[in-house]
Copies of this chain bind each other. A is one copy, B any other.
């Protein structure tokens, strides 16, 4: 099998951990597999480099920032190659550009466009473990780019896609994907399998195991993912296209505390109002998640929506200063949480959503907003009840069984 393995920065934070990772790779290699590894920068390296930059220029050019940050992964790959050599496994490290990782030119948030796999393939032919710097690539000007948050996951999935790998293993500090956060709900169970879409919803809903970009990419190229522990040697959760259909359609409960709710009250009930509100926010890079628009009455309506907590203030300020929308009042709540149930078959099972509302009613938890999609139902509730809601729902849908 050709297997791509990805290890995060904390997995390689010091020499001892580098050897743990090396032993893990060695085992896969000695079982007769071809292995490509991507690895992030060690521990706090990236933060330290950002600190160094800020000391010199609080707003450095993004190109130079990428030039700087890319060194973090370059250090990791060299050290990991040395560790593998030390334990007798032939290995070679490759930077993003050496591995043929071509990206667009958006420094700091670059997207992989293509991977020229010749070099990797020839090193695999030579029976070497190929260690590729995650998080980085090269653009058409031959300049170094970085992929932004969670970039190493994206690198791993993109490599697996380009190499037609049999499996892409993402090693993390958790054992896999759980029915909900085990810290909130001790009965949470590890899921043996999950679909890409379910994983996408869980990720976007605050179960931060994998960044969405990498799951989207895996879905697009049908890459078999496994999310597993870098410490324990147990099977993780497989993320793939089709999983066996089960009767219980809810697969997991997610919670996201990084949410604020904003309501724009009494705006004119006329076409273009929603457009004005959300295009203004978009222009200022404020991402809106859930949206609720009331039915118009007396030529007025209300629009409510959720944003990330740290963008709430900016959004409110922006809307207040621009009276093009002629709102009577703008109010916000920044002490809310989003709780969601996720599962692929939910949409064809109308009872699922109402069970959720029933559970909230029984638990005396007030729902501020509801938002549904093909495979999830999300509700916005007061943050103080979020953990209670997760535990209630986990039990309600028998996820602990």
How far, in angstroms, from A93 to B81 measured CA to CA in the complex?
Answer: 27
The chain B residue sitting closest to A18, CB to CB, is B56
> Complex formed: what's the CA distance from A57 to B22 in Å?
12
Neighbour of A78 across the interface among B19, B64, B81, CB < 8 A? B64
* A144 / chain B contacts, CB cutoff of 8 Å: 95
Does A124 belong to the interface (CB within 8 Å)? Answer: no
- Binding-face segment, A69-77, A172-180, A359-367: A69-77
Do B67 and A74 touch (CB < 8 A)? yes
Report yes or no: A64 in contact with B49, Cβ–Cβ below 8 A.
no
Q: Is A182 an interface residue (CB 8 A)?
A: no
Distance, CA A78 to CA B61, complexed state (A): 10
| A73-90 CB contacts (< 8 Å) to partner B | 74-75, 77-79, 81-83, 85-86
The docked-state distance in angstroms from the alpha carbon of A65 to that of B85 is 12
Report the 5 A-B pairs with minimum CB-CB distance, sorted nearest first: A68-B78, A71-B71, A57-B82, A60-B82, A67-B78
Residue of B nearest to A144 (CB): B95
Q: How many copies does the complex hold?
A: 2
Known: A15-B55, A75-B49. A82 touches B70 (CB 8 A): no
A interface residues, Cβ below 8 angstroms from B:
15, 18-19, 49, 52-53, 55-57, 60-61, 63-65, 67-68, 70-71, 74-75, 77-79, 81-83, 85-86, 92-93, 95, 97-98, 119, 142-144
Minimum C-beta distance from A297 to chain B (A) = 55
- Asked if B77 and A67 sit within 8 Å, CB to CB, the answer is yes
**Closest CB in chain B relative to A252 CB, distance in Å:** 39
The answer to whether B71 touches A57, judged by C-beta atoms less than 8 angstroms apart, is no
Pull 30 A–B residue pairs with CB atoms less than 8 Å apart, ordered by A: A15-B52, A15-B56, A19-B56, A49-B75, A52-B79, A53-B79, A56-B83, A57-B82, A57-B83, A57-B86, A60-B82, A60-B86, A61-B82, A61-B85, A64-B81, A64-B93, A65-B78, A67-B74, A67-B78, A67-B95, A68-B74, A68-B75, A68-B78, A68-B82, A71-B74, A71-B75, A95-B144, A97-B97, A98-B142, A119-B142
Shortest Cβ distance from residue A105 to the other chain B in the assembled complex, whole angstroms: 14
Cβ B82 vs Cβ A64 within 8 A: yes
Inter-chain CA distance A57–B53, complex, in Å, is 30
CA distance A128 to B68 in the complex (A): 19
Contact call B67/A53, Cβ cutoff below 8 A:
no
User: Min CB distance, A64 to chain B, in Å?
Assistant: 5
Contact residue among B60, B74, B83, B97 (Cβ-Cβ distance under 8 Å from A70): B74
Q: Are A79 and B68 in contact (CB under 8 A)?
A: yes
A53 to B77, CA, bound (A): 11
Most buried by B among A53, A75, A86, A97: A75
Q: List 18 other contacts, CB 8 Å, given A65-B82, A74-B74.
A: A52-B75, A52-B79, A56-B86, A57-B83, A60-B85, A60-B86, A61-B82, A63-B92, A64-B81, A64-B82, A64-B92, A64-B93, A67-B81, A67-B93, A67-B95, A70-B74, A71-B75, A98-B143
Q: Which B residues are CB-close (under 8 A) to A81?
A: 61, 64, 67
Which partner residue on chain B sits nearest A68 by CB separation?
B78
Within the assembled complex, what's the spacing in Å between the Cα atoms of A18 and B53? 11
Q: Hey, which chain B residues are within 8 Å of A142, CB to CB?
A: 98, 119
- Whole-angstrom distance between the alpha carbons of A95 and B61 in the complex? 16
In the bound complex, CA of A60 to CA of B55 (Å): 34
User: What residues of chain B lie closer than 8 Å to A63, measured between beta carbons?
Assistant: 92
Give Cα A300–Cα B388 distance, bound, in whole angstroms: 99
Whole-angstrom CA separation of A150 from B52 in the bound complex: 25
- Chain B nearest CB, measured from A391 CB (Å): 44
